[in-house]
Amino acid sequence: MGRNTALARGINKFSRSASVKRSGKWRFFSKGADGKKTAPKAKAGPAPTASRWYQGDKSASAPRQRRRKKTAKLRASISPGTVLIVLAGRFRGKRVVFLKQLASGLLLVTGPFKVNGVPLRRLNQAYVLATSTRVSLDGVEVAERINDAYFARVGDSSASGTDAEGEFFAAEKKTVAIAQGRKDDQKAVDSALLKNVAKVPALRAYLNAKFSLRNGDAPHEMAF
């Protein structure tokens, strides 16, 4: 090691690996006592870490709970016979008479049709405004068949892709025919309801008037 001179205190001219290489001792590092090369030692890898997730026991898993659909609670201001103001949709601004709540939570209402043109239809109570005016429903019977399935749309199975394209570019508009059964149900409900409307002065004109707001009107300060 005399040739490896010290440059400073603790710092030699050649590093340890360079000094071993220059002296030739590196030839004996990989040999055993008998002068033969030994098998390289396997490097020890990092210890396996435990996984954050584990496979649960499927046999003891709890059954999946499904949410049951509940009928929406009817607002306290809405009761059978209450006159409602429609706030959205095709008949917005019209006044209708509430008949009953269906299983889906929607409201079954009618205009009546001869008064303001609103037929039997379903409305969400979130899009109606209840008034203090009420109509007697004495003698008005709503058939059990008038439910949610009663208003389901029936698709036309004969309409194919080419037929639909032809109808789109056709000049004539296809009119939807109303079933005679619906006309009879509408007449049965409205005939009894109109008798009760006629007993109250100016009630027919009130149902026929369309609700609207003007500039400066504050709906939250109005009493309906």
Domain spans in the chain, listed from the N-terminal domain onward: 82-166+177-221
Which sign does the torsion angle of CA 193, 194, 199, 201 carry?
positive
Count of alpha carbons within 13 angstroms of residue 71, beta-carbon side: 10
User: What class is the 82-166+177-221 domain?
Assistant: mainly beta
pLDDT, one tens digit per residue, over 81-131 is 999 999 999 999 999 999 999 999 999 999 899 999 999 999 999 999 999
- Tell me how far apart the alpha carbons of residues 199 and 54 are, in angstroms, rounded to a whole number: 74
Q: What is the mean pLDDT of residues 45-57?
A: 68
pLDDT, one tens digit per residue, over 133-171 is 999 999 999 988 999 999 887 654 444 444 544 544 554
- Tell me how far apart the alpha carbons of residues 101 and 89 are, in angstroms, rounded to a whole number: 19
